[in-house]
């Protein structure tokens, strides 16, 4: 708590300029994934959409009739276009996407705001991933299943005759805006569909999340989904980086003879594993002082120490049957 002192008096200013306000670990995960959860967030949508470029609002007739005017008023002068997709799975057809592609009039800085359920966010997100080879987008989910699952993680796709979601892309939103107040107009059958996803998330998390009030239920489920999708995204980047480094031939004068030292550097962006935790688990810093408190080391000492650290980690990995990426995550968790 900041209290009533000078910092306490500055608290409204901090809240005004901050991108996110973090109170616990769930808030930190949501902030790392760019997910904003707040009751009444729809009324502040204009300030929550990053940037100052023009915005195209995409919704379906049902949601537009209930929340469309509030969204348009919140977006204000930045709103340049309003588009409608068919309700339900009809929005995820090539014909519907073709009409949307042809009607869009945005430049590369423009943002697509998807207001609706999971089908709307899937289709509008895929349009954002492909229009002009990718433009920013912001999902504003209005159904329970979209708020706790479908709109988080950048999953976008459309259906083809061979099956659902067979054509799509992972296109991470610049921000995801979740307003639990929008669930008050949700029909009961759709709410039950969303509760099934909540129960699944609760079982995976090991907590009865389905017993929580709507605001906390949505926040906790969204944080769990954001953590898993973000971790999977970082792990995929690490695997790709490791593959590229192993295919790249060694160059004269390179810093290290083995690529394993740099295999998992993209993983350090993951909120689950940080470089500081990994350094504590290995007992030494990549640069600077060692765990024993000695001063800075020479460049030759750093290179030899880093190479021995990488080889020892790789040896432990081989014995445990894990990849170096898994080793660092597991090591970080076991040393807490």
Instruction: Spell out the per-residue pLDDT of the chain, length 336, in tens.
Output: 455 677 778 878 877 777 778 889 999 999 999 999 999 999 999 999 999 999 999 999 999 999 999 999 999 999 999 999 999 999 999 999 999 999 999 999 999 999 999 999 999 999 999 999 999 999 999 999 999 999 999 999 999 999 999 999 999 999 999 999 999 999 999 999 999 999 999 999 999 999 999 999 999 999 999 998 866 566 555 555 555 555 555 555 544 443 333 333 333 334 433 334 433 444 444 434 444 444 445 545 545 544 444 444 444 433 333 333 333 333 343 333
Q: Are 218 and 184 in contact (CB under 8 A)?
A: no
CA distance 129 to 201: 27
- Where do the structural domains in the chain lie, given as residue ranges? 13-234, 253-334
Q: Are 64 and 87 in contact (CB under 8 A)?
A: no
Q: Strands 111-116 and 55-59, how do they pair?
A: parallel
Q: Which pTM was predicted?
A: 0.69
What's the CATH architecture for 13-234?
3-Layer(aba) Sandwich (3.40)
How far is residue 146 from each of residues 152, 197, 291, measured CA to CA in Å? 8, 10, 46
Q: Are 79 and 218 in contact (CB under 8 A)?
A: no
CA distance 84 to 91: 9
């Amino acid at each position: 708590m900041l209290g009533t002192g000078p910092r306490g008096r500055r608290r409204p200013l901090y809240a005004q300029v901050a991108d996110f306000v973090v109170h616990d670990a769930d808030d930190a995960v949501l902030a790392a994934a760019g997910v904003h959860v707040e009751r009444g967030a729809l009324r502040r949508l204009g300030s929550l959409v990053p940037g100052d470029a023009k915005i195209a609002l995409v919704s379906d007739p049902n949601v537009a009739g209930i929340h469309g005017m509030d969204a348009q008023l919140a977006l204000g002068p930045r709103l340049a276009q309003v588009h409608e997709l068919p309700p339900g799975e009809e929005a995820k057809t090539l014909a519907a996407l073709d009409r949307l592609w042809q009607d869009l009039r945005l430049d590369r800085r423009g943002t697509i705001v998807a207001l609706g359920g999971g089908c709307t966010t899937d289709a509008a997100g895929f349009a954002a991933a492909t229009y002009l080879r990718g433009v920013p987008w912001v999902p504003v989910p209005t159904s329970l299943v979209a708020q706790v699952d479908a709109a988080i993680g950048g999953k976008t796709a459309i259906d083809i005759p061979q099956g659902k979601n067979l054509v799509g892309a992972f296109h991470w939103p610049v921000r995801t805006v979740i307003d639990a107040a929008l669930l008050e107009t949700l029909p009961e059958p759709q709410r039950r569909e969303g509760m099934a996803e909540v129960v699944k998330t609760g079982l995976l998390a090991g907590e009865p999340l389905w017993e929580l009030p709507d605001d906390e239920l949505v926040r906790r489920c969204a944080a769990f989904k954001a953590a898993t999708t973000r971790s999977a995204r970082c792990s995929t980047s690490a695997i790709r980086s490791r593959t590229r480094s192993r295919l790249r031939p060694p160059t004269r004068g390179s810093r290290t003879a083995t690529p394993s030292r740099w295999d998992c550097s993209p993983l350090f962006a993951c909120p689950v594993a940080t470089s500081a935790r990994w350094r504590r688990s290995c007992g030494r810093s990549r640069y600077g002082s060692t765990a024993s408190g000695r001063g800075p080391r020479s460049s030759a000492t750093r290179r030899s120490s880093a190479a021995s650290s990488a080889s020892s980690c790789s040896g432990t990995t081989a014995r445990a049957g894990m990849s170096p990426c898994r080793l660092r995550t597991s090591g970080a968790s076991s040393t807490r």
